[in-house]
Amino acid sequence: MQRIYAILTLALFGSFTFVEKESPTWWKETVFYEIYMPSYMDSDGDGYSDFKGLSSKLDYIEELGIGGIWLTPFLSSPKVDNGYDVSDYRQIDLQYGTMDDFERFIGQAHERGIRVIMDMVVNHTSTESYWFQESKKSKDNPYRDYYIWTDQPNNWESFFGGSAWEFDSASNEYYYHQFDKKMADLNWSNPKVVEEIQEVLRFWLDKGVDGFRLDVINFLTTDGITQDNPFDEKGEQIHMHDKDQNGVKEAMKIIKSTVNEYEDRFIVGEIGSEDIQELKQYQSDELMDVVFNFNFGSIPEFSAQRIYDEIISMEAELSSYPTLFFGSHDMPRLMSRLAENDENKAEALAALMLTAKGVPFIYYGEEIGMENISAANLEHIRDVQATIHYDLAIQTGKSDVESLQIANDHNRDKSRSPMQWNSNIHAGFSDEVPWIKVHENYTSRNVDAQIPVKSSLLNQYKKLIEMRSSNPVLQYGDYLDIKFENNVLSYTREFEGDKVTAVFNFSGQVYELAPYGNLLAGKYRVSSNSYAIIQH
């Protein structure tokens, strides 16, 4: 392999820029860890993770260095969409335990200095919720206007595919659902709905949660049903009028002001857009503290150029901190999608996420290099989004093989398999996990195997997280310079006179750095898919 020898000196990284001292903000100092609720740790053998199981793994999470946990939905739900279809906003789903189990979990997390934010879905409810069951009884029911009903539906399509309208024969009207037909959209133009949601937020804040991840929050229907959506040149609908409606920001302000009734709480918003100009509209002191930027986090395949471009874009466009992530419950795993099953590359991407400017979110299992699972047939798919796309493909004349491929392309199960605590494919869960199919030939890295190995991916994650959590430059520092050349990405961040330089080599060649400063992580001789983090 040809070697490239380069001497990087401080002069390469620009002149000193004064950075105004910033008051401490806990979420800027925190490395978050997303836990997909059904998949983390099962305490009772029913095949579902639960709060007792989570509590049993808090020592592991603490040792990993995590300061904040994001829990996906755990409220009462029929699980058409794995909990994103809430049937009761004030009840813990029985599969995850009891309210006492939850309160013990959050108390034990707080004892360890770990904050907890919960996924909150206020765009829609399950059609099994009391509100919707009352709403459908009659047109003059007090809950009727909690949802959106019409006898003249427009052309809006569901984001899961197919029509966004479902006919109800009892009232001879249609109700609106942006996603599955069993997930009815709330009517945010109704003040009673707003008041109900405010009380729900206060209920959980009183329980001690430290904030919320707000699901598809710019999809709130605040302006009612407006004109038909247009179509693009491929015949695909452009979701122009069914999101980002007039009134969405006012609704967000009410949510934020409600959360601000409690001290030191945090809101991260999922904005259904990849347009950085749209994302920036929702990130401010009176709206969302931060928003997820899927342009950075969900690129379909590895591209050092794309990562660099997105860092530049976030720095130029977002006035507050960006979010940094390479995985979530809605996308293929980092190891399979970006790292191409290369542990060195996965470690380098972790180092990038933990040294760039922003709030990092690690998806459970990334720290041990978990891979995607795959579905061999339709019976192995549980994700509603995938099954809807399979049915639509069959309806348009596609073969079973073609339809299965389309379903797999949209299947979110691939990144939702049980946390690999050991070498068993079910990792301590029941022998046959009831809500997801894991193939017998599935193998993945696991915790037990990596704990004793000093150089393991898990132990490297621990070092990187500790480095980020203990270094103010990596929490608050601004960029002095960002460079990209020959697939080598580098940047320097500065805070109160201290500087950290990070170099990531994706060139396929060897990069030699002149020793200087304090090497925090990596090596001065940066091989391909590796890195160096230097404080000076």
**Quick check: is 140 catalytic?**
no
Active-site pick, 29, 119, 185, 215: 215
Q: Do 148 and 187 touch, CB atoms closer than 8 A?
A: yes
User: At 376, is the pLDDT very low, low, confident or very high (cuts 50, 70, 90)?
Assistant: confident
Given a cut of 50, whether residue 274 has pLDDT beyond it is yes
Mean pLDDT of 327-351: 95
What is the Cα–Cα distance from 51 to 42, expressed in whole angstroms?
8
Which residue is it, tokens 């029911």?
A: 141
Q: What pLDDT, in 10s, does the model give residues 153-204?
A: 999 999 988 999 999 999 999 999 999 999 999 999 999 999 999 999 999 9
Cβ neighbours for 200, distance < 8 A, ≥ 6 positions apart = 89, 90, 120, 122
Which has the closest alpha carbon to 456: 426, 489, 403, 420? Answer: 420
Distances (CA, A) of 346 to 302, 450, 462: 11, 15, 14
Mean pLDDT of 31-56: 95
Q: What pLDDT, in 10s, does the model give residues 225-236?
A: 999 999 999 999
- Residue 59 token pair: 């020592």
Residues shown for the chain: 536
CB neighbours of residue 391 within 10 Å? 15
Which has the closest alpha carbon to 365: 414, 398, 301, 306? Answer: 414
Q: Do 90 and 143 touch, CB atoms closer than 8 A?
A: no
The angle formed by the CA atoms of residues 292, 296 and 300, to the nearest 5 degrees, is 115
Phi-psi bin for 514: left (phi > 0), alpha (psi -120 to 50), beta?
beta
User: At 442, is the pLDDT very low, low, confident or very high (cuts 50, 70, 90)?
Assistant: low
Given a cut of 70, whether residue 443 has pLDDT beyond it is no
Q: Do 114 and 62 touch, CB atoms closer than 8 A?
A: yes
**Helices 457-470 & 343-355, crossing angle to 10 degrees?**
10
Q: What is the pLDDT of residue 70?
A: 98
Mean pLDDT of 468-487: 97
Residue 378 burial (C-beta neighbours within 10 Å; 0-12, 13-18, 19+): middle
Give residue 450's Cα distance to chain centre: 25
Q: Parallel, antiparallel, or unpaired: how do β-strands 173-176 and 115-120 relate?
A: unpaired
**Quick check: is 278 catalytic?**
no
Q: What is the pLDDT of residue 20?
A: 41
User: At 440, is the pLDDT very low, low, confident or very high (cuts 50, 70, 90)?
Assistant: low
Instruction: Out of 2-6, 160-164, 165-169, 328-332, pick the least confident.
Output: 2-6
Q: Do 204 and 91 touch, CB atoms closer than 8 A?
A: no
Cα-only R_g, the chain: 24
Active-site pick, 29, 93, 119, 270: 270
Greater confidence, 121 or 435?
A: 121
Ranges of H-type helices in 149-302: 191-206, 248-259, 276-281, 294-297
Percent of the chain with pLDDT over 90: 77
User: At 2, is the pLDDT very low, low, confident or very high (cuts 50, 70, 90)?
Assistant: very low
Given a cut of 70, whether residue 23 has pLDDT beyond it is no
Q: What is the pLDDT of residue 189?
A: 97
pTM above 0.85, yes or no: yes
